[in-house]
Structure 1
């Protein structure tokens, strides 16, 4: 029988550890203190790994295994609890993620309050914190307080691309068991794409080969024509960098594509949230309270729309960052070709001819300067420089590096 952990690509060691922990969790006596628990199962976990390695997927699979109702199989993937956890609708699994740039104190407090109660339907109250590196000092301290003195039936699953204490509070990190995921190879990504069905095998193989082990990116490339078109725009940029009349407009197009992608991916959820809020506040009703409800709803909707705008900004940055990683990968391939390194797999095997031609035309130091300019652009966007300005400056810096 396929289980929930089949969704993890190339992470056999991680699956073994989490399965053992979920098995140990079943043997715990309800209400037992954590200090008396089986050492395989702890109350706080930190999932780390490079982008696309499956940190959040691992956390949700573990949450499903902990709540699984099957009497013998841990994380069966078939019971109601497994289905609802993976669908994000389980009453006792709470997702805490940035609604904008950071995870705010008010969001942490709301989640902790819900998670402190007894489980309503499952074995555990589970808090999954996506992008824990985006906790602010205040929200991180609030979460630390409850992690230090956890309720006996609450489990915390934190996800972050790094264990660097500059990104995650060292005290929060030290109270969690680290599960390090590695970048899956192309074969593992291809298998993960084919496991879900509905994807052409040839396209799955191509997407796995060009996604640098990023499973989510591979799935988008395999299933979404617009994503493939955006990648083509990104990888065209190095080939026209010598021509400012083509390079700068193409860079603007790159930023616009990231904004459109963020809008397309967030709009359905944004509209649903607004409609649910208006319904919850009684907008459209009749009676004495209808007018007051309308006024209150207007303010609440305005606050929600502000949060949604912040979330779209974050999505735009994330989309643009993936594009910049693709661009850096092209110049990396060019650098390897220029140095004559043949035993390292290219990031973009389908563009090997173009990257080799560029690598043969420019000295390695110049190509390395282009890569540095891309990294500086990524850092600038992360500290709130407007993407259009940052990318335009990057194009200028690359042109200068290449001479």
Structure 2
């Protein structure tokens, strides 16, 4: 990951580049920032800079980007939490000396997903790491980690990049026109990953447009129930689009590594390994569905935020400027109090889904608050 592919984080990049050069380097780092700010991207750019020896920068960048460098350790999870045993094995690996690079770098994505027991396993390694091992943790906020972990790391805080900064990156990197990149960046609310997806994937744009259309068209409780069912279908299809191709490729790679021809019979002795892969894929599918539902709810938050801004005549530019006419109509057929109640209901739905409430029930309860008169 090149430093040039990061946007809106000049202060953080300057700090980390200086540290990679030996100015202010410590052995434990925490990179925090809101979703879409580029926490993992900047972590891997920092990792590549730490590992690379003079003359190996391009090769190291490519290996780190592919997560194949021998001196890079990566711990992430497709599930809800990072398991204690996984942290224990990862800590053990951190004591290996770097084989070809300057440092051995251990990256934990979504470190906020470690439970207390998992975090306690990590403490000793953060407190007394080997001389040439550097830890990089990523989390939305330092408040998401135990105080004992926070006290052992140096924190670098990222900010939400501006719409213009994200649009410039998307236009330059993905070959999208600047107006299209700007619309994608605005509707993604400066989330770099989602802006890329909206700018380059027509199906993602259609799913988002359908989400807003459904919410604006609710006129009765029965309509809210039907809309909840369709939103769940939208999230499910979105999750499948993300995971299906990857699942199939993983299965093909696993069969090839086990010496099984495509379409061939799997020997009984190897079935346990494939079953473990399938279980991992099921956990990833569940998390992908939850992430898809959360994206839908974030889009709905932007919708009702726009409506509230119009009702209050705030003069703030809407996120969903492309449907300004529909926003204006919705603002005139409801009150600010109703809109605030819907915003609260969306936030409650996000908490319920995160707490494993049945998504259909959480969506129905939320959308009933969005019932509006057709007058």
TM bracket (short chain) = over 0.9
Structure 1 spans left out of the alignment, 5+ residues? 25-37, 285-290
Compute the displacement of 1:325 (Å).
0.5
Instruction: State the distance in 2 between where 1:351 and 1:16 align.
Output: 39
The alpha carbon displacement at 1:278 in A equals 4.1
Q: CA deviation at 1:366?
A: 0.9
Aligned to 2:370, the other structure's residue is in SS state: helix
**1:173 correspondence with 2:150:** yes
Alignment match, 1:325: 298
1:141 is matched with which residue? 120
Alpha-carbon offset, residue 46 of structure 1: 0.9
CA deviations 1:307-362 (Å, max 9, x no partner) are 211111111111110111110111011111111111x3322222233223212221
Q: Structure 2 residue aligned with 1:59, among 21, 32, 43?
A: 43
**Distance verdict in 2 for CA 1:227–1:345, change over 3 Å:** same
Aligned mate of 1:20, from 6, 18, 21: 18
- Report how many aligned residue pairs link the two structures: 372
Work out whether 1:341 is the aligned partner of 2:311.
no
Does residue 1:219 correspond to 2:217, yes or no? Answer: no
Query: What is the RMSD computed on CA atoms of the aligned residues?
Result: 2.3
- Cα offset, 1:295, TM superposition: 2.8
Residue matched to 1:201: 178
Q: 1:271 to 1:197 in 2, by over 3 A?
A: closer
Match for 1:42 among 9, 23, 26?
Answer: 26
Given the alignment, which residue of 151, 167, 170 partners 1:190?
167
- For structure 2, the residue ranges without an aligned partner over 5 or more in a row are none
Aligned to 2:182, what secondary structure does the other structure show?
helix
1:89 is aligned to 68
Q: What is the distance in 2 between the residues matched to 1:400 and 1:98? A: 41
Task: Name the SS of the counterpart of 1:41 in structure 2.
Answer: coil
Q: How does 1:317-396 map to 2 (within 5 A)?
A: 317-342=290-315, 344-396=316-368
Q: Which residue does 1:124 correspond to in 2? A: 103
Instruction: State whether residues 218 and 372 of structure 2, in contact with CA within 8 Å, keep that contact through their aligned partners in structure 1.
Output: no
1:259 equivalenced with 2:236 (yes/no): yes
TM-score for the superposition, normalised by structure 2 = 0.92
Conserved 8 A contact 1:251-1:392 = yes
Q: 1:393 to 1:401 in 2, by over 3 A?
A: farther
